[in-house]
Amino acid sequence: MGKHKKGLAVCAVAILLLLAASLLAGYHGRAESVQEAMRDAVLHSENQIPFLGGKAVNPALISAFTVTAILLVLAALIRIFAIPRFKLIPGKFQLVIEEAVGLFDNMAKQNSPHRNGFLGAYIFGAGAYIFVGTLFELLGLQATTTHGQPITLPAPLSDVNAAIGLGVLSYLVILSGGIAGNGAGGIGKTLKEFSLPISMSFRLFGALLSGLLVTELVYYYLHLSFVLPVIVGVLFTLLHAIIQTYVLTMLTALYYGEVSEPAHKVKKAKAN
Partner 1 sequence: MSNIPLNIDWQQILLHWMNLAILVGGLYFILFKPVKQFMDKRQQHYKDLEDQANGKLKEAEDIKDQYQAKLDGVEVELHEARAKVQQAVEKSTQEQLAQAKKQAQQIVDKARIEAEHSKEKVMKEAQRELKQLATEAAEKIAFKSDVDPFDQFLNLAEGGKGNEIR
Each residue 97-116 as x (binds partner 1 by CB under 8 A) or -, in order, gives: xx--xx--x-----------
Q: Which C-beta is closer to partner 1: that of 87 or that of 264?
A: 87
Q: Are 138 and 264 in contact (CB under 8 A)?
A: no
Question: For the chain, what is the radius of gyration of the CA atoms?
Answer: 24
- Any contact of residue 44 with partner 1 (CB under 8 A)? yes
Containing H/E element for 58?
none
Q: Are 229 and 129 in contact (CB under 8 A)?
A: no
Q: Which C-beta is closer to partner 1: that of 71 or that of 218?
A: 71
Contact positions with partner 1 (CB under 8 A) in 52-81: 55, 57-58, 61, 64-65, 67-68, 71-72, 75-76, 78-79
How many DSSP H helices and E strands does the chain contain? 10, 4
How far from 2 is each of 6, 10, 15, 61, CA to CA, in Å? 6, 12, 20, 50
- Any contact of residue 125 with partner 1 (CB under 8 A)? yes
Q: How far apart are CB 217 and partner 1 at their closest, in Å?
A: 20
How far from 142 is each of 110, 130, 187, 219, 227, CA to CA, in Å? 41, 20, 44, 15, 22
- Any contact of residue 143 with partner 1 (CB under 8 A)? no
Which residues here bind partner 1, judged by CB under 8 A?
42-45, 51, 55, 57-58, 61, 64-65, 67-68, 71-72, 75-76, 78-79, 83, 86, 88, 97-98, 101-102, 105, 120-122, 124-126, 128-129, 156, 159-162, 164-166, 168-169
